[in-house]
Structure 1
Amino acid sequence: MSLQINIDNGGTLTDICINQEGVVKKTKVLTTPYDLSKCFFEGLQKASEVIYNEKNVARLLEEVDLIRYSTTQGTNAICERKGPRLGLIIDAASRDLPVRLAEQDPEVFEALVADRVVFLDAGVVKGVEADVEIVKAINQLTAAGANRLVVSFGGADFVDLENRFKRVVLRKYPRHLLGAVPVLYGSDLIMDRDEARRTWTALINSFLHPATEAFLFNAENRLRAFRTKNPLLIFRNDGDASRVAKTVAIKTYSSGPRGGMEGMKSFAKLYGMKDVVAIDVGGTTTDIGQCMDGKVRETRRGHVEGISVSFPLSEIMSAGAGGSSIFKVVNNRIAIGPESVGAVPGPAAFGRGGKEATITDASLLCGIFDPASYFGGGMALDLDRAATAVMVNIAQPLGVELDEALLQMEHAYEDKIAVELHRFTKISEDTTLLAFGGAGPLNACGVAEKAGIDTVAVPQLAAVFSAYGIGSCDISQRYSVSLDACSDETLAEALAGLKVKASRDMFAEGVAEGDYQIHARLVAENADGEEIAAQLDASPTVPASFAKARNVELELTAVKPLREEVGKAATFTEGAAAVADGVRNVLTRSQGRIDVPVYKVAQMKAGDHAAGPAIIEEDYFTCRVLDGWSFVISDAGDILLKRKS
């Protein structure tokens, strides 16, 4: 591929990574949450400026080979509890199901469903009164404020019950009517026998679906008007991509952060790092993951906010703390997030009407940011507005001076991320902290100190690292089906059926028969309840180990490979002393306000090194090097920071 555009849409900023004949360039635009297609096309405009030195989206879309897109929209929606009000219709035989659902996360259940639950007897759904009772159930939920419904029955015949329910809904609420309420059936998404897991999967998908669908189809339609060669590809949490029409909303959850994890894998391989933990700090969240021995943790039954769902997802934890997270004083202590000012109005320093205090405002007032060079010089920062926000929201409630409030904000922010690191990852003396995202490098040394980590790495492409990471994904479709009677005959029949589905979906992806690979496996539980799996070959048979297995499922993946394995290696070796570009007066933790050197990433060469306190600055990220830390530039242009023992 000669020209690829990767776009990672965050809550505050949207990152664009351009790969043209192997040369990687980057740019950013502010996210427009009221219309994500606006920042999407503004990103394409800026990309065309980077490539052609002029705004020429038509030319770009004529020449681009591939556009990949990932988003933190789903992550932010769940984190901030912003989305539609859902109604839930479940089997009357499962009256304890709402309790079991709420046990996994009471706050999320309250935000999504609350008391909008109706129990419906399976016998009624099969009986002559089905039409009347189903209409009553739907009307009860819509009257209670539900604007989307989820139907999830239990028992062995849950698929049949949901299909019967669906036929009534199609008769009584035909989709062409304006008042037709959207209904999602758990069995439409997944055939998982676990009722609670399947129900949570459907609820979360329904919660994320409306906003995701509206933006993606709008963006795809606008792209189609330019007659682009290839359709927009949506990067998913499982590490692969698919077209808009072949992607379900829940798989976009943490898709942007998963791009960062793919980048972490590549980075760890490049430097031979065995144990890397990542903090991907955006405007609204800090996404945390770990790469051990070249592998990112992924589970067959993934988790959303700690809630078990039916799809495989990468294990990424999102903490509600980012560059635009709101700081406030609660019980004489600083609390952070999960609320965010986002891109609009943004931090007070942006001068767009924001009045809340954020770490961006604190960093500006500490002297770490240059108001004139921030965001590549594309956004002037307002010191007075930032000072007012911190004084009113933090300093005065705490009864301290401005500088003391700023230091307390920094410590509170670093403490929060360090605590989440320890809660989610395993840290050892060999752990390297990889800091990326627009705000990742900023407080990385402070976070590392509090987490007990002595080595920090900052990629040269830290500001767009997630967008960079999605650039090597494959196109794939995944399927699963339960096997009630597991024999060679039922296996062959089920496998043939899934292959037919795969051929249709891959054709819709623009991939012809023979141009994609098929991978199939059996997964089940043994007598001890442990998961067992077996890969299937060209002549599949049921392994002997599955003779007494329970909950047997056939999983199939159709893959069009796009990844390129490149055997590169890089090192961090000290050479000449780095030359500072100037100094900046910064509030330090032990010496008050002093002048510290500023090093520009673009001006440094391989081997350049220096010691803190200092500032390392790139167009779209700033790294504060604390006293007691030193840094060196690798032969690939990345930064390694070490704390003195």
Structure 2
Amino acid sequence: MKRLINIDNGGTLTDICVWDGKDFTYTKTLTTPFDLSQCLFDGMTKASAEIFGEKNLEALLHSTQHIRYSTTQGTNALVERKGPRIGLITDDPAVVNELRQTEAEASLFDDLIGTRVAVVDPHADDEALNRDLVQHVNALTTAGAARIVVAVGSGDEERKLRKILLRKFPRHLLGSVPILYSWEFTADPVRSRRIWSGVINSFLHPTIERFLYNAEDRLRAHRVKNPLLIYRNDGASSRVAKAVALKTYSSGPRGGLEGTRALAQAYGLKHVLMIDVGGTTTDVGSVKDAQIAVDRRGSIEGVPISFPMSSVHSAGIGGSSIIAVTDGEITVGPESVGAAPGPACFGFGGKSATITDVNLLLGVLDPGTYLNGDVSLDAERSKAVITSTVAEPLGITLEEALVRMEAAYFARMAEAFAPMIENPAETTIAAFGGAGPMSACGAARLNGVKSVLIPKLAAVFSAFGISFSDIGHNYELGIPEPTAESAKQVYDTLLARAERDIFQEGYELASCHVVSNLLIEEADGSRAFEQPYTPGDVPQVKDGQQAFLTLSVTAELPHASLGSGAAVTPTPAVPNGTRRVRSSATQVDEVPVYSLVDQAPGATAQGPAIVEGPFFTARVLEGWKLDVTASGDLMLTDTH
């Protein structure tokens, strides 16, 4: 088979995972915020050197079937509020209060929309409606709106406004303004969710669009025929032209969850919590009984939207989170130094302390092997920053500061996933990302969890998880009337849309997997029940309920598989050296260091220990036992 390239673009590092149908080749590169297409090509070039023995990007690209790409660009843009100002045209002034009901909604509304709201009467006579719409659009754009969302009572009324606006502001003119119509974007009957979905998508769209089309242009320059595929937060992938910006939000964590589900199935684990610790955030998700937790109606920054989303919670703690002193206490995050300037030890001008600096001075990290030696670490810079920002303000020694900073980091990480633990005895932490394996034992112990699983691909695990993605599209429409005829009309509409979209992806509908479900939703938006739909079925709807049809079309790609958690014969793990690691302000221990890839299945040892894998370092605390599984993963058990 041809290769499949999976890329997960993070705030600090970008991960690349290439699969040739048998083996994985993976690497990392620093994210380039000034041009995200640069780190994409930097990473693929590095991967080509691993595959061919020398850099040969052309050979890699022309031996690849698809590139599947996940980016935090949308997530970061919303967090940093870096996007276009949005204008809103509605028919009800009460919409403003409806969209600002919670503190989170009010904050996002003020930042994205503010006072740029216009109210029209869609039932006014044509002359008045034409005049009012033109005046409102001109006023909104003069006030700074670069994009406009239209949200009025019904789809028919919005289509009426659309005809007028297309006539008055033709798309081919420079004076045109991008307009999104809420009912066209999603048929969610709950107005606030529908409008928020349109507003957030309009905010994310230009940032995502510019970068991704730039990346596609660079690929065309290499004569790559297959389009770039965008990995979405529903677990499927699609070409850039068929992707919705809103569905790129939090797509990386969905990759991690897909990989976590594969781990849960391979090892027969009842409940696995994904702890994906990146440079800026820790993403926490749940896989229970091999099922990914998905919210029927998701939320973004606490704001409800119309689309399903994986139930992932992000905390502002990562390998580049700033550790500082606030009011005499050590605090961790949510501010981050990101990729630029990065931790102080990177030598790029960072002036704030991070857990990366702490682990370097504790002895957990080896400056010569960090990120496989691709980044050299400067301990003196870490000492200077931690001394000036933490030790001196608290009036303590550098050694005491290091121990207390690590404890604060453990506690902050433990807080991030504590609410998702139902039964510590049945819970396994799957720790990955660059910083996850270093801190998983300390955080797990604080929550009473005694099992931690660190996959051998931990450093690029979200990129690995993308390898379970197919090309696909998902659709949903409300059924106007609870009759077989009405349901069949909706089904035909969705099927025609699916046939068109999957053809544009390069596949015939007949060769794809199509699934349609009838879904009944309560008035509050909760799911009443869901069942497979067959044309001719009659929706059984009670008072207050709404019937929907969902349809998914999937063009399947080859998938990787994880080895099983088969029993192995225990043998003593073989260290390849030792490292002096500080365990307290006054004690430094000589700790064995194990190379994960050099250990045979069944290798076992007791902590304290350091285990080094490709691009990651795991800290095994005292009282923890390490075992290398049949698949080469690292299973840690707290024996205290």
Give TM-score scaled by structure 2 length: 0.94
SS of the residue corresponding to residue 371 of structure 2 reads: helix
Q: Which amino acid aligns with 1:630?
A: K
Query: After superposition, what is the alpha-carbon deviation per residue over 1:158-188, rounded to whole angstroms, capped at 9, x for unaligned?
Result: x233333333443444434445433322223
Quick check: 1-10 or 141-150, which moved more? 141-150
Query: After superposition, what is the alpha-carbon deviation per residue over 1:24-50, rounded to whole angstroms, capped at 9, x for unaligned?
Result: 121111111111110111111112111
Aligned residue for 2:538? Answer: 542
Match of 1:410 among 402, 406, 409: 406
Aligned residue for 2:26? Answer: 26
8 A contact 2:21–2:558 mirrored in 1: no
Aligned residue for 1:586? Answer: 581
Query: After superposition, what is the alpha-carbon deviation per residue over 1:504-545, rounded to whole angstroms, capped at 9, x for unaligned?
Result: 1110010113111221122223589863344345543214x3
Aligned residue for 2:424? Answer: 428
Q: Which amino acid aligns with 1:118?
A: V
Aligned residue for 1:130? Answer: 129
Aligned residue for 2:214? Answer: 218
In the aligned structure 2, how far is the partner of 1:303 from the partner of 1:119? 26
8 A contact 1:242–1:475 mirrored in 2: yes
Q: Number of paired residues?
A: 640
Q: Which amino acid aligns with 2:506?
A: G
Aligned residue for 1:389? Answer: 385
Tell whether 2:313 aligns with 1:317: yes
In the aligned structure 1, how far is the partner of 2:54 from the partner of 2:256? 29
Match of 1:205 among 197, 201, 208: 201
In the aligned structure 1, how far is the partner of 2:110 from the partner of 2:25? 44
Q: Which amino acid aligns with 2:504?
A: A
In the aligned structure 2, how far is the partner of 1:519 from the partner of 1:118? 40
**Structure 2, unaligned stretches of length 5 or more?**
none
SS of the residue corresponding to residue 301 of structure 1 reads: coil
SS of the residue corresponding to residue 476 of structure 2 reads: strand
C-alpha spacing 1:503/1:296, structure 2 compared with 1 (3 Å): same
In the aligned structure 1, how far is the partner of 2:402 from the partner of 2:142? 48
Quick check: 399-408 or 178-187, which moved more? 178-187
Aligned residue for 1:165? Answer: 161
Match of 2:570 among 566, 570, 575: 575
Q: How far apart are 1:301 and its partner, in Å?
A: 1.0
8 A contact 1:116–1:146 mirrored in 2: no
In the aligned structure 2, how far is the partner of 1:534 from the partner of 1:102? 30
Residue pairs, 1:278-427, within 5 angstroms:
278-427=274-423
C-alpha spacing 1:84/1:364, structure 2 compared with 1 (3 Å): farther
Query: After superposition, what is the alpha-carbon deviation per residue over 1:239-276, rounded to whole angstroms, capped at 9, x for unaligned?
Result: 11111111101111111110010000001111111111
In the aligned structure 1, how far is the partner of 2:437 from the partner of 2:41? 28
SS of the residue corresponding to residue 92 of structure 1 reads: coil
Q: How far apart are 1:277 and its partner, in Å?
A: 0.6
8 A contact 1:259–1:468 mirrored in 2: yes
C-alpha spacing 1:319/1:77, structure 2 compared with 1 (3 Å): farther
Aligned residue for 2:84? Answer: 84
Query: After superposition, what is the alpha-carbon deviation per residue over 1:460-515, rounded to whole angstroms, capped at 9, x for unaligned?
Result: 00001111111021211111222222211122222112211111111001011311
SS of the residue corresponding to residue 207 of structure 2 reads: helix
In the aligned structure 2, how far is the partner of 1:35 from the partner of 1:530? 41
Aligned residue for 2:458? Answer: 462
Aligned residue for 1:188? Answer: 184
Query: After superposition, what is the alpha-carbon deviation per residue over 1:568-621, rounded to whole angstroms, capped at 9, x for unaligned?
Result: 522464622212222222221376223222111122111111112211112310
In the aligned structure 2, how far is the partner of 1:292 from the partner of 1:526? 25
SS of the residue corresponding to residue 210 of structure 2 reads: helix
8 A contact 1:585–1:594 mirrored in 2: yes
Tell whether 2:630 aligns with 1:635: yes
Q: Which amino acid aligns with 2:71?
A: T
Match of 1:478 among 458, 474, 481: 474
C-alpha spacing 1:79/1:592, structure 2 compared with 1 (3 Å): farther
C-alpha spacing 1:236/1:624, structure 2 compared with 1 (3 Å): same
C-alpha spacing 1:635/1:541, structure 2 compared with 1 (3 Å): same
RMSD over aligned Cα atoms: 2.3
Residue pairs, 1:488-503, within 5 angstroms:
488-503=484-499
Aligned residue for 2:67? Answer: 67
Aligned residue for 2:593? Answer: 598
Give TM-score scaled by structure 1 length: 0.94
C-alpha spacing 1:86/1:321, structure 2 compared with 1 (3 Å): farther
In the aligned structure 1, how far is the partner of 2:85 from the partner of 2:384? 36
Q: Which amino acid aligns with 2:61?
A: L
C-alpha spacing 1:403/1:131, structure 2 compared with 1 (3 Å): farther
8 A contact 2:196–2:305 mirrored in 1: yes
Segments of 4+ moved more than 6 angstroms: none
Quick check: 425-434 or 141-150, which moved more? 141-150
In the aligned structure 2, how far is the partner of 1:403 from the partner of 1:146? 53
Aligned residue for 1:622? Answer: 617
SS of the residue corresponding to residue 426 of structure 2 reads: coil
In the aligned structure 2, how far is the partner of 1:461 from the partner of 1:116? 48
Q: Which amino acid aligns with 1:138?
A: V
Tell whether 2:494 aligns with 1:522: no
8 A contact 1:570–1:636 mirrored in 2: yes
Aligned residue for 1:507? Answer: 503
Q: How far apart are 1:294 and its partner, in Å?
A: 0.5
SS of the residue corresponding to residue 273 of structure 2 reads: strand
8 A contact 1:524–1:546 mirrored in 2: yes
Query: After superposition, what is the alpha-carbon deviation per residue over 1:292-329, rounded to whole angstroms, capped at 9, x for unaligned?
Result: 11101012211222322111111111111111122232
In the aligned structure 2, how far is the partner of 1:353 from the partner of 1:130? 57
8 A contact 1:526–1:548 mirrored in 2: no
In the aligned structure 2, how far is the partner of 1:151 from the partner of 1:405? 54
C-alpha spacing 1:102/1:532, structure 2 compared with 1 (3 Å): closer
In the aligned structure 1, how far is the partner of 2:105 from the partner of 2:32? 30
Q: How far apart are 1:97 and its partner, in Å?
A: 3.6
C-alpha spacing 1:377/1:284, structure 2 compared with 1 (3 Å): same
In the aligned structure 1, how far is the partner of 2:28 from the partner of 2:523? 53
Q: Which amino acid aligns with 1:87?
A: G
Aligned residue for 1:555? Answer: 550
In the aligned structure 2, how far is the partner of 1:147 from the partner of 1:486? 40
Q: Which amino acid aligns with 1:355?
A: K
Quick check: 373-382 or 67-76, which moved more? 67-76
In the aligned structure 1, how far is the partner of 2:400 from the partner of 2:4? 47
In the aligned structure 2, how far is the partner of 1:527 from the partner of 1:220? 43
C-alpha spacing 1:166/1:345, structure 2 compared with 1 (3 Å): farther
Quick check: 478-487 or 25-34, which moved more? 478-487
Percent identity between the two aligned chains: 45
In the aligned structure 2, how far is the partner of 1:330 from the partner of 1:151? 45
C-alpha spacing 1:485/1:222, structure 2 compared with 1 (3 Å): same
In the aligned structure 2, how far is the partner of 1:395 from the partner of 1:171? 66
In the aligned structure 2, how far is the partner of 1:38 from the partner of 1:529? 42
**Structure 1, unaligned stretches of length 5 or more?**
none
C-alpha spacing 1:111/1:537, structure 2 compared with 1 (3 Å): closer
Aligned residue for 2:145? Answer: 146
Q: How far apart are 1:399 and its partner, in Å?
A: 2.9
8 A contact 1:81–1:111 mirrored in 2: yes
In the aligned structure 1, how far is the partner of 2:504 from the partner of 2:624? 53
Q: Which amino acid aligns with 2:603?
A: D
C-alpha spacing 1:441/1:176, structure 2 compared with 1 (3 Å): same
8 A contact 2:562–2:631 mirrored in 1: no
Quick check: 262-271 or 549-558, which moved more? 549-558
Q: Which amino acid aligns with 2:12?
A: T
Aligned residue for 1:7? Answer: 7
